[in-house]
Amino acid sequence: MSAAQWHGTTILCVRKGGRVVIAGDGQVSLGQTVIKATARKVRRLAGGRVICGFAGATADAFTLLERLEAKLEQYPAQLTRACVELAKDWRTDRYLRRLEAMMIVADKRDTLVLTGNGDVLEPEGGVAGIGSGGNYALAAARALMDTGMGAEEIAKKAMAIAADICVYTNAQVVIERIGEG
């Protein structure tokens, strides 16, 4: 499966006003068929201190979530270090490098986007989006960041906009949050 075939999800992270949220839609698509409308693509890790959303092949994403959880146990309270170590493994391990997924990971301080290319990116402007509808949600969230809306409101509105535009995204949104607000 090439990156061009990755369809079926939108993950958005919004950080504003002391709160960070990750939102994920619930649609799972196989080609042009919706297989499931209520999938949960957003998870809590590290005893609830870290939230993560994934896009890509589901089994691959679960494998990476397990590996990330192990890295977080190895490097507690060091999200960036844990993600860099995961990215190194993902890039160099013969089995892992075949996994096709992307993740947004956040704690109370940091937001990171991880890819199978070994990227550990810190997005700008308090927002990040991945998946087939990720750019739509990202654009909408950026436009809403300077309004009076909070992080969760922005995420909900941006995800609704993405669901209206991207056929691989639906409005069955799951949100995980950390922080005040």
CA pair distance 113, 134, nearest whole angstrom: 12
What's the whole-number mean pLDDT along residues 25-45? 90
Around Cβ 90, how many Cβ atoms within 10 Å?
27
Q: Report helix, strand and coil shares of the chain as percent, to nearest 5.
A: 35, 30, 35
What's the whole-number mean pLDDT along residues 15-20? 97
> pLDDT tens for residues 44-63?
999 999 999 998 877 788 88
- The region, left, alpha or beta by phi > 0 then psi within -120 to 50, assigned to residue 100 is beta
Weakest-pLDDT range from 3-17, 21-35, 92-106, 153-167: 3-17
Whether the CA torsion 64, 70, 73, 78 is positive or negative: it is negative
Residue in 61, 67, 1, 58 with CA at minimum distance from that of residue 35: 58
* SS3 state of residue 52: strand
111 is catalytic: no
pLDDT category of residue 7 using cuts at 50, 70 and 90: low
Rounded to two decimals, the pTM is: 0.92
Does 1 or 120 have the greater pLDDT score?
120
What pLDDT score does 151 carry? Answer: 98
The CATH label, of 3.60.20.10, 3.10.20.310, 1.10.150.130, 3.30.70.2190, for the domain at 3-179 is 3.60.20.10
Q: What angle do CA 52, 57, 61 make, to 5 degrees?
A: 35
Terminal Cα-to-Cα distance of the chain (whole angstroms): 40
Half-sphere exposure of 106 (CA within 13 A, CB side): 30
The active-site residue out of 9, 10, 111, 169 is 9
Around Cβ 122, how many Cβ atoms within 10 Å?
11
